[in-house]
Amino acid sequence: MVFLCSLAGLHAQSIRHINPEGLAKSPAYSHVVTAKPRTVIWIAGQVALNAKGEVVGKGDLRAQLNQVWENTRVALAAAGATFQDIVKINTYVVNYKPSMREDVRAARLRFMGAGEPPAATLVGVQSLASEDILVEIEVTAVIR
């Protein structure tokens, strides 16, 4: 029993919360959370905010997708990871229509490349945290 409690204590110490420079600060969530022994990284849903917290590309899904993936790059780098470490992507698009799928796919491909794709979910939603935000992407990564 004591051994199990000791392991639980070690596990709790292996979790890091990271809010990297270059991403807007939020009191509601951490941008990056890592856990060891294998480093698992959970990236909070990234939206099209620049480092000052300003919306990039109001009304422009393509511009917002590029900002979201750039924010994801910054968050991954803060945890020592790259796009190749991503194992799961959840994408939420406001008022999604199947005709938008190509823009979503093309932006992901520009940043992640054509390697083996991670597990992914694409969901159409009515709205996100702000009426100016059109897309939110959260990822999970594992540093091998």
67-98 pLDDT tens trace: 999 999 999 999 999 999 999 999 999 999 99
What is the DSSP pairing of strand 15-18 with strand 39-46? unpaired
Asked whether the beta carbons of 74 and 32 are under 8 A apart, the reply is no
Lowest mean pLDDT of 14-18, 58-62, 82-86, name the range: 14-18
pLDDT at 8 over 50: no
- The CA-atom distances, in angstroms, between 131 and each of 16, 29, 38, 110 are 31, 19, 38, 26
pLDDT tens-digit readout, 106-137 = 999 999 998 888 999 999 999 999 999 999 99
Asked whether the beta carbons of 64 and 134 are under 8 A apart, the reply is yes
Full set of structural domains in the chain with CATH: 15-143 (3.30.1330.40)
pLDDT at 9 over 90: no
Query: Given pLDDT bands bounded at 50, 70 and 90, which one contains residue 17?
Result: confident
Q: What is the mean pLDDT of the chain?
A: 89
- Of 140, 119, 118, 138, whose CA–CA distance to 129 is shortest? 138
121 phi, psi to nearest 5 deg: -130, 135
pLDDT at 1 over 70: no
Q: How far is residue 95's CA from residue 29's CA, in Å, rounded to a whole number?
A: 25
pLDDT at 6 over 70: no
How high is the pLDDT of residue 5?
A: 36
Report field, pTM of the whole predicted structure over 0.85: no
- Of 121, 115, 113, whose CA–CA distance to 139 is shortest? 121
CA 62, 89, 72, 54 torsion-angle sign: positive
